[in-house]
């Protein structure tokens, strides 16, 4: 559901979609323009075949998006899925396919909460979608660099940023470095599957 978007290495594509041809969007320091008490924000740990990383989510700025993501997390939806699209210098995308590239059934799409103040910076996580703004379901992407062209108002509705990587960005960069191929009608698929083994909500520290 994503277009074949190419990053800096060639021509930057116009759309990032959430299906076979969809791409996600992320951000560079993974910071939005909104500050809040970090201890009040939920975090999740993502265990991958390349190692773990932690995401801090922002329900204060993207409540419906975070609620949707956490429903998938708590239901075990992301366990044993893959990062099916990896483009160095742009983003890594996952959350919709099994290791054999079978698409998982999802819940209904959600409203697009992208805002000009929520930037697709390096390390930020955003929802992948089709060309229709309110079409995101389960797929997400993590930005490997500042991808300002994905922000709301730059080329359209934009892609909804809803958190950032707070630990393990080196793991994300390692995923970005894997060899890729064309498979099942999709480009930029890792030659060796990069598994999302589990995603779990972290309990707040006392």
CA–CA dist 128, 17 (Å, integer): 5
| pLDDT tens digits, one per residue of 143-200 | 999 999 999 999 999 999 999 999 999 999 999 999 999 999 999 999 999 999 999 9
Residue 109, pLDDT > 50, answer yes
| pLDDT tens digits, one per residue of 120-144 | 999 999 999 999 999 999 999 999 9
CATH top-level class of 41-202:
mainly beta
Mean pLDDT of the chain: 87
Domain ranges within the chain, ordered by starting residue: 41-202
Region of 89 please: left (phi>0), alpha (psi -120 to 50) or beta. left
- Residue showing tokens 């997390």: 73
Q: What is the pLDDT of residue 39?
A: 62
CA–CA dist 129, 137 (Å, integer): 7
How many residues does this entry show for the chain?
A: 206
Q: What is the pLDDT of residue 37?
A: 53
- The listed range with the strongest mean pLDDT (10-14, 17-21, 55-59) is 55-59
Query: Taking the model in full, what pTM does it have?
Result: 0.85
Distances (CA, A) of 86 to 48, 51, 179: 14, 16, 9
């Amino acid at each position: 559901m994503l277009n074949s978007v190419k990053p800096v290495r060639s021509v930057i594509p116009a759309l990032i979609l959430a299906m076979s041809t969809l791409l996600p969007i992320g951000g560079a320091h993974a910071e939005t323009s909104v500050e809040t008490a970090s201890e009040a924000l939920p975090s999740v740990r993502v265990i991958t075949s390349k190692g773990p990383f932690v995401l801090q989510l922002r329900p204060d700025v993207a409540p419906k998006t975070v609620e949707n993501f956490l429903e998938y997390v708590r239901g075990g939806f992301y366990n044993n899925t893959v990062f099916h699209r990896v483009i160095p210098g742009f983003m890594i995308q996952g959350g919709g396919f099994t290791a054999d590239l079978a698409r998982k059934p999802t819940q209904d799409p959600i409203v697009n909460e992208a805002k000009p103040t929520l930037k697709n910076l390096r390390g930020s996580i955003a929802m992948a979608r089709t060309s229709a703004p309110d079409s995101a379901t389960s797929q997400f992407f993590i930005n490997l660099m500042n991808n300002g062209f994905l922000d709301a108002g730059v080329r359209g509705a934009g892609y909804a940023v809803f958190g950032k990587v707070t630990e393990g960005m080196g793991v994300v960069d390692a995923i970005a470095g894997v060899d890729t191929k064309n498979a099942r009608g999709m480009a930029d698929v890792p030659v060796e599957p990069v598994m999302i083994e589990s995603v779990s909500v972290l309990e707040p520290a006392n």
